[in-house]
Structure 1
Amino acid sequence: MLAGAALAQNTEREVRVGVYQNEPKILLGPNGQASGILGDLLQQMAIQEDWVIKPVVCEWQACLDALAAGDIDLMPDVAYTEQRAQTYNFHKVAALLSWSQIYKRSGVQINTALDLQSKRVAVLSGSIQQTYLENQFLAFGIHGTLVPVSNLQEAFAQVAAGTADAAVANRFYGDRQAAKYQLDPTPILFQPSQLFYATAKGRNADLLEAIDRHLGVWQSQTDSPYFKVLKQWMDVPPRFSVPAYVWWSLGGLGVLLLVAVGVGLHLRREVADQAWHLQSTEARLATILNSVEAYIYIKDTELRYQYANRRVCDLFGMEPEQIVGKTDADFFDAATHAHLRINDLRVIEHGERVEEEETNLSADGSQENTYLSVKLPLYDRNGVIYALCGISTDITKHKQAEEAIHRLAYYDPLTQLPNRRLLMERVQQALTAQRRGSEQGEHGALLFIDVDNFKDLNDTLGHPMGDALLRQMAARLGACTRAEDTLARQGGDEFVVMLQGLSADVDTAAQQTGLVAQKILAQLGEPYALGDHSYRTSVSIGVTLFSGTGMDQDELLKQADLAMYQAKKDGRNLVRFFNPAMQAQISARTALEADLHQALVRNEFVLHYQPQVDSAGQTLGMEALVRWQHPLRGLVAPMQFIPVAETSGLILPLGRWILDAACRQLVAWSQTPATAHWHLSVNVSARQFHQPDFVAQVEQALQQSGARTGLLKLELTESQLVDDVENVILKMQALKAMGVCMSLDDFGTGYSSLSILKRLPLDQLKIDQSFVREMLTSPKDTGIVRAIINVGQSVGLQVIAEGVETEDQRAALIALGCTHFQGYLFGKPQAL
């Protein structure tokens, strides 16, 4: 029995989760798992709670029915309503904030709710939007048609096809998908709502408790999984701003309230036989205002509350009759009351329409919220202001998310220091300030700091210890700098300090900088407590001075970087200033880059070709290798100019030229029977391959030249698989669908794993020449070559060895099972 109990405790819990297609909030990912914002958050929780998430794909209403029946355990993306609370249980901390909006087909005029008259509106069946619109149609006598659909894609598709005039969607889906279906957002927004995970009534309380626990912690930490998932799914999140149509919507609501209140005052002066009509109108208005997710209130000219909707009552914890007659001084602290009074008097005394963000602190200081408030003057029949109408929307969560995203964009999450992006902005600001005030002649300095032998620490004590060291170093560096200086983490184990306000005399400025650098060396050289270890290390510091003339930020960082490498070269734990010898290196590189630009214009690049043969020595094709025929330098080898082309971006037009030239060569070979079957391999750089339109470039080159698709072979290196492997696979699949062959170059020298390799649509593996060169004398290299050949054969890929220079190497490769070769033994790269 004890053994059985222990086994039960170690069993992971299976959680059945309803998944319907509502990108980006919830959807079924390509791996068959729940994805989207709410899906990814749940996966993060599952890792920590030992849950096994089992997605159950269903339509929206079918998901809710399955949840109520107990066929699924958890349903994401459920808005809380009193009615739903009778059937389902919800956790307490909201997962997301959203609102509903109506989207229309171009040419259809919908600006207010009254424009829905005679319109067909597609709405998700069983949703709170459907219930809300049914009530609004009934309340305002709107004769429109609600078209229930099973999912939002169907709703937008019906509008695009003309079978519906408009569709209702949440703002996450609508803002991402409206352009795809060529729909326009309308100014009609409603039902700001909080979204939760739901369970069936009385079931799975432990799931809701765990979700509340994680959300409560994550939403208070800017570097938590919560904000990382938000950033991932919200693209490049904009600063929070309210579109123009929100103002129109809120203004329209204020006008509606003004008209309704005016109607109420007028009806009170009507004869007694109209009293029943007045009561009916007031009840309808109260229903509408209490169903809105905004805080709506009316204050008289003494700024005393005369009306408060249900949201305001809930905020103050009072009934409407308890609020009437009170002022903001009864609910908020003195500073908040004073600020609100200033804005309210602008409306009451001057008739202004005030639109402003207001941060309000409760009287006891326990609750602070930020609101987007619109305040309008209300006029009587004589044009005299008798009250103000306020409409406030709680944007606290939006502001917190905005601040968190800003911190993710500009600060390093490990050390909390400014990151490279913020550093570059501050360097540019410093240079600009110096240029504007150049008569002062003050100098600044950049100190590029790199940890010596940091890789050894990660390899011996592990990456967590490396992270702990960097955090301690950041704290010590902060103690060595002033408030007006900038301390940033450049990335990895590199820090940058920017000093400002140094002497106008360059020698004195250098001395001041040297003192700071030596102080940093001393502080960072002291022992560090890393767990149970006492660890010592050192740093190398490169320094460059600047005075705002003839410099840009990139050039400054290059200079400091070069000086730092000189410190490394001279023995580490040193400070080195940038000098003219380093400048000469930069100048030579700059001249080479300028020549590269002209080389493209003057068509100085040529292709050389090296044969690829089989075991019988029969030529099967060639590899195209670019060379630069410089008018003064002569024939320039790729290793001299390709790195410069990569870093300068010139590799993109150069790569396009190589691709076009290779396709034309294939066409030329097709004219001769002896060469018509030859394939041609072309190397593709990582930067070139990651262009969004790379597949289209290849297709265009083949079509314009008329080359046979199956004879073009693109060679990728393993390093290209490190970043965004999913996108790499999609592009490779698209190229394979066109008939283009794919080869993995320099195999064995990079980062690819067997799990990635089996997913790649490859035709060929290419053994790197570094293994071939030593295989006759190094058993390790022989073993690696044998392993690569076996891997290729096991997954059905052709294996070709490059760098074959001797018959002994060829014979050894054949003995190991290799059948395709390339190298000087069969021919050097030559022009045709």
Structure 2
Amino acid sequence: MEVDPRMKPLRSPRLAHLLLCLGLLSCAWSHAAEAQTVRVGVYANEPKIFADASGQPTGILGELLQAMANEEKWQLQTVPCAWQQCLQLLQEGEIDLLPDVAFSEERARLMDFHQVPSLFSWSQLYSHEELRLHSVLDLRGLRIAALEGSIQYQYLQSLLDSFGLQAQMIALSDLRQGFAMVHDGDADAVVANQLFGDYHVANYRLSATPIMFQPAQLFYATPKGENRNLLEAIDRHLQNWQASPGSIYFQVLQRWSGEAQRRSIPVLFWWGLALLAALLTLAIGGSLLLRRQVADKTRHLKASEARLNTILDSVEAHIYIKDPQLRYQYANRKVCELFGRTVDQVIGHTDADFFDSETAQALGINDRRVLAGERIENEETNRDRQGRNERTYFSVKLPLRAADDSIYALCGISTDITEHKKNLEQIHQLAYYDALTGLPNRRLLLEHLQFALARSARSGREGALLFIDLDNFKQLNDTLGHDMGDLLLQQVSSRLLDQVRLEDNLSRLGGDEFVLILENLDPEPQAAIAIIEQVADKLLRALARPFELPGYSHSGSASIGVALFSQPYDKPEELLKHADLAMYEAKAAGRNTLCFFDPRMQEALAARATLEHELRRALSEGQLLLHYQPQVDEQGELLGAEALIRWRHPQRGLVPPGEFIPLAESTGLILPMGRWILHTACRQLAAWADDPQRAELTVAINVSARQFHHPDFVADVLTALKETGAAPHRLELELTESQLVQDIEALIDKMGQLKAHGVRFSLDDFGTGYSSLSYLKRLPLDQLKIDRSFVHDLLDNASDTAIVRTILALGQELELRVIAEGVESEAQRDALLRLGCRHFQGYLYGAPQPAEQIGAHGRATLALHLGSA
């Protein structure tokens, strides 16, 4: 046992010896009574842990453990083992403590760790300098040695697989074996923790490559559920030591961080001595002239140094010089401001006095490379002593050489690029991510899709593109506002992310459109489709749950279109288009469902595009016309006619409205088409007013929901009446029940404005929608129309009879005229008469015909219908 040299000697030697012996006996007895034997697994991993000549653990973690053992009265029993064997012995309980274990979730299930990391490290590749490895991509085809069973081995193997790189992994039982294999040419590179690699690299004439990965926290580990007291003691010592810069923890780190380089004496120093000798000789000779010259030169040197310091202090960069022991020898104003110290307080200190241990360690690695003769340019991330105030610098460091080419110091210039990095990150975020949801945008989606397609082609695995579009999102946006719509999109994004795997790629294409990329699916089509359907079903069920918005609960759904990677396509954008087409098919199939792309969809799209082009020409070239179907009373007297739009195609003849009206609705052509119909019908109404036999006819126009809700609709109607001279009280506008569910208050307001000018209103297809009677009584209506579907089965279906009777009774109570459409037989007419209906329209009284063929007697009503006859 060593006696602490700091102990003061006692005045009586005999008494001192006696007390010393008693102390030794007391310590020995206490140790024997309380010592705990700790079996420590030791493997060769210098400088962190290895066995010394006496078999005791040494190295950084070994010495720290010895210090803890001395204080805790542990009796350390070394158990030599190879790494994989050490792990096995620990799990079997054959050893009590294993140093130098990197934490991972998998290992935490098999063994216990303390809380405070004992050491920080990372993995690095080492090779011959001639190999020039710069990135993971350079490892293709190489032989790479790594410790068997280590996290490094598993991580590097998965990293190579993720890049699709073929490389030979060589399993090692000892890291020195790997360095020897690279030295002898039996391997191209070896992966090791940085501390071990930097410690041994010179012995094998290898160099560290820029390929670093997997920063790790190192711990002492115990068998699962055992030796909790060991871990608690280790945490207590580490926490106390790491809080004190002068503790044994930092002394051990300093001692094992690498061989201190002997500071060489600069050549200029010897020249200075020679100059001093010459000056002394001249002084002895009493040369006053030379002393004057020396004084002048000194003044010039000081002036030059002052000017140089002024220049360096004015530069907006951190400029410094460090000696071989990495102590600051010069620091400009920016360096002093960074540290919050004066120049005198900076000179002679190392980075460990100004930065946290991790930063100081990283800076030391770069600095030692420069002192070895390398010029480096790279980014460095620094934190203060408390691990806060993180800043990023672009540093250029180069060695300073003496006249004999020896390196006596390094010079560094570091520029703070923290804000520049943040700006670049913000620019990247704006360029590649959606600002509302944070998901990748269309630009990044196409990049991800291109990589996914390439991976699928290499692996032979199937992939899929899911195009997700919310149903009726525009309705929510229009009624509740865009702010509420944005909140819904954010909630939708969150729900979708909760349903997908980490490896899946979810993007927001724009508006209410989202795209999901699924990869690595089964190459067998039916199996892949089954998985896709499961995923889509999860997404649809998640989006069907109500969304809680401020003051409003929204229930919605989505339509999903799917395109498989294996389907033919020319470029990624075309695959996206295929999924988009399939999504529209899902909407056409009733929404809230899934649809896979079929090549026939492409043909339908081409036909639709052709039809849209021809319809636009029809509007501009006057190919549209109106036909009229008579309306009569119970005596068969002509009351009016319903106008039906027709398209006289140059090649196809008359095109049924059912083929082009839905297209006009979806493309927005319904607006110019509706204006044309309005003006044409009003002109016809004005023309009949000049004919005494037709002067009493009125015109009713069935207006589409999109046209009615347009801001200029009221102005368009009044302009048409004014320009044509048609009588407003003979114009009747027909609405459908579906229009009543969209902004009913605005609808009533517009109807009231037109009603004030005499325009009449009729509710078309009554009974087929979801009209609310509370709304119905508020509408300024003049007429209800019984839908043809009730008339068609009137003779055979008691339910239809009951519905017609109810509509007639409702019309009577509300003082509204009721007309039945679709009357094709006398039996239907007679049944309607028995129920109380007095107004009719249908083929029994005449098919749709040109205006000039409409009868010239009695009164009639002319109605414009945008759907099929």
Both structures adopt the same fold (TM-score exceeding 0.5): no
Compare CA radii of gyration and give the structure with the larger one.
2
* TM-score between the two structures when normalised by the length of structure 1: 0.40
Structure number with the bigger relative contact order (C-alpha 8 A, sep ≥ 6) is: 2
* TM-score between the two structures when normalised by the length of structure 2: 0.39
